[in-house]
A and B are shown apart, each in its own frame.
Chain A
């Protein structure tokens, strides 16, 4: 696809800026709550668009190291699930644990970065 300008992240930022800075202060009650939740959802999308690609490269590399062969993130992650479930990995396997923790941390960086510091 030819690259359009401005890109998606800027459009998202513009929408979030309007919701948070202009619309929210004029609202109360139900619509204030719902608009805050909506702005939060758009912020999640913004962080996913800007962060996820690099995370996925690192995640795939960790999975290849852990499982010892190539594959897509989805394939390798599904295989890891099976191997945790079937006891192939010990529960306290350090490399597996480190991968799981880093993957959760990545997701929280997108979905709710505040959770990491509370």
Chain B
């Protein structure tokens, strides 16, 4: 389908779901990933021109019964991403506001339209530019308050989320390293440490799954919107808190929270927003284990076959020691 064709069908679908006339302006592709493609456009709704985002998920690959890692996948599919964001907004979380969910009957790809929020997502800018100087000191507390809201989303409204415990995650990383034939003593050390330090009786809530700097839209007033819900699962809520503090996601900034803030502010705001008491050691488990998660992710990205070789992806494989080094620094109290 040509671009003009697509835009014409998009206009008809927007008019039907959101409001006439639906005339489309500035339609452009923002990012295309393995999991979904994101477009930006404006549309005339009544006499107003409104800013929107269109997201189109990639079709879920067929489940490979011979892939021993398949049973650990928490991937959400189809319009579940949009249904989760709707539940999040209902719980008071600043997630993208879903305005339409398209199906094949609409003549465009299956996907959803959300309001487009203005702001910055690139962390190097947020951490350094003067215009965010007022926002930065507020952001750790905002992260805590918003996260408390995410963990209050009613699980019954999002029954499609898959449960993944820390123990199961350890198993899947173990399996990944074995399948790829990686023998790295540092990785073995982190996996065994995780096994011996598993949190006891964690709560069971919605888990965002990729709650970190880089997935927030930030303005001069602080965090405006939480993006990238496709890694969502259900499990131990402290997983999100630890992941937010992993050093990789500080982008060279000094604050342990996303490079911009203090753990104390994060924890206090989370508790104040009714998100239960925070045990710093419990969060530390997930921060340390988050390093293992990123080490495994870089391993997977960096070891694609020669037919998929790409200079950017391949050099990511050489980043595996960064999180493992951070793990040691964290558990030995040097961070």
Residues of A within 8 A of B (CB): 34, 37-38, 40-41, 44, 74, 77-78, 80-81, 84-85, 87, 91, 96-97, 99-101, 103-105, 107-108, 111-112, 115-116, 118
User: Which residues of the other chain, B, contact A107 by a CB distance below 8 angstroms?
Assistant: 321
Structural contact, A37 and B192, CB atoms closer than 8 A? no
CA distance A101 to B319 in the complex (A): 15
Partner of B325, one of A37, A38, A87, A105: A105
CA distance A40 to B312 in the complex (A): 10
Given A84-B188, A101-B328, 5 more contacts at CB 8 Å?
A: A34-B311, A84-B189, A91-B196, A104-B324, A107-B321
CA distance A12 to B183 in the complex (A): 29
Residues of B within 8 A of A (CB): 183-186, 188-189, 191-193, 196, 252, 311-312, 314-315, 318-319, 321-322, 324-325, 328, 332
Given known contacts A34-B311, A38-B311, A84-B189, A112 and B183 CB-to-CB distance under 8 angstroms? no
Structural contact, B315 and A108, CB atoms closer than 8 A? no
Structural contact, B193 and A104, CB atoms closer than 8 A? no
Main secondary structure of the interface of A (DSSP, over half): helix
> Of all chain B residues, which has the CB nearest A41?
B315
Given known contacts A77-B185, A84-B185, A112-B322, A104 and B328 CB-to-CB distance under 8 angstroms? yes
Structural contact, A44 and B183, CB atoms closer than 8 A? no
Question: Whole-angstrom distance from the CB of A59 to the nearest CB of chain B?
Answer: 10
User: Which residues of the other chain, B, contact A81 by a CB distance below 8 angstroms?
Assistant: 183-185, 188
Question: Whole-angstrom distance from the CB of B76 to the nearest CB of chain A?
Answer: 30
User: Which residues of the other chain, B, contact A84 by a CB distance below 8 angstroms?
Assistant: 185, 188-189, 192
Main secondary structure of the interface of B (DSSP, over half): helix
Structural contact, B322 and A108, CB atoms closer than 8 A? yes
CA distance A34 to B216 in the complex (A): 25
Structural contact, B321 and A100, CB atoms closer than 8 A? no
Structural contact, A99 and B311, CB atoms closer than 8 A? no
Which of A41, A74, A104 counts the most chain B CB atoms within 10 A? A104
Given known contacts A37-B312, A112-B319, A118-B252, A78 and B189 CB-to-CB distance under 8 angstroms? no
Question: Whole-angstrom distance from the CB of A39 to the nearest CB of chain B?
Answer: 10
Q: 18 interchain pairs (CB within 8 A)? A: A37-B312, A37-B315, A85-B188, A91-B192, A91-B193, A96-B185, A97-B189, A99-B185, A100-B186, A101-B328, A103-B185, A104-B325, A108-B321, A111-B319, A111-B321, A112-B318, A115-B322, A115-B325
CA distance A103 to B315 in the complex (A): 19
CA distance A101 to B188 in the complex (A): 13
Given known contacts A37-B312, A100-B328, A91 and B189 CB-to-CB distance under 8 angstroms? yes
Structural contact, A80 and B312, CB atoms closer than 8 A? no
Question: Whole-angstrom distance from the CB of A23 to the nearest CB of chain B?
Answer: 14
User: Which residues of the other chain, B, contact A74 by a CB distance below 8 angstroms?
Assistant: 183
Question: Whole-angstrom distance from the CB of B249 to the nearest CB of chain A?
Answer: 13
